[in-house]
Amino acid sequence: MFRTAAGPYYFIANIEAPAAFGKYATDCKQDTELNIRNFPAHGELALEIEGRLLRIKGEGPANVEAIINYQRDVQQYRQQLAHSPWASLVELSGQPMLPPEATSMMIDTIKFAKTMNLVATAVVFVDVEFAESVKQFWQAIYQKAKLKHAFFNTTDDAKDWLIDQIENS
């Protein structure tokens, strides 16, 4: 399992990004001269691979800096899965919401993951506050990214659905 490390990262829009990210990239640098943003990341994140599933455990709320860290950290996991169809199992807790700028970044990140053979995402809420509002928030993100998605009450049900999505892709 991998836990991200928060750091003083700067968000730089409209800059040539690493080739691995293609057009969906966000470049982040640790450079005091740039000082565009210097906020600590908010939110917790854990990533691991389980078969053809990328398990993402997130606790929010999160900010832009947390999404920048996520974009950087998740790439190595996606590369391990990209040779064939795979899916994400997302387990959210707390108040897993994002500000508008981070929401746009998340949509782009999901679109990029689709180019790496991501076929679906299942979301399970674990002690989520304002669950109906959170569901609507994440549903809008997945719809804008045009990714097949579903919400489940249990991890087992989510895994079963994801396996079907992978096998039928």
19: pLDDT strictly greater than 90: no
6-32 CB burial, b ≥16 within 10 A, e <16: eeebbbbeeeebeeebeebbbbbeeee
**pLDDT of amino acid 37:** 53
Residue pair 158/123 in contact (Cβ under 8 Å)? The answer is yes
Q: State yes or no: pLDDT of 20 exceeds 60.
A: no
How many Å apart are CA 62 and CA 73, to the nearest integer? 15
pLDDT in tens, 139-153: 999 999 999 999 999
Model confidence, pTM: 0.78
User: How remote is the C-alpha of 125 from its chain's centroid?
Assistant: 15
pLDDT at 43: 84
Higher per-residue pLDDT: 24 or 65? 65
Go through the domains of the chain in sequence order and give each one's CATH number.
2-167 (3.30.750.24)
Question: Which pLDDT belongs to residue 38?
Answer: 61
CA nearest neighbour of 67 among 107, 102, 33: 102
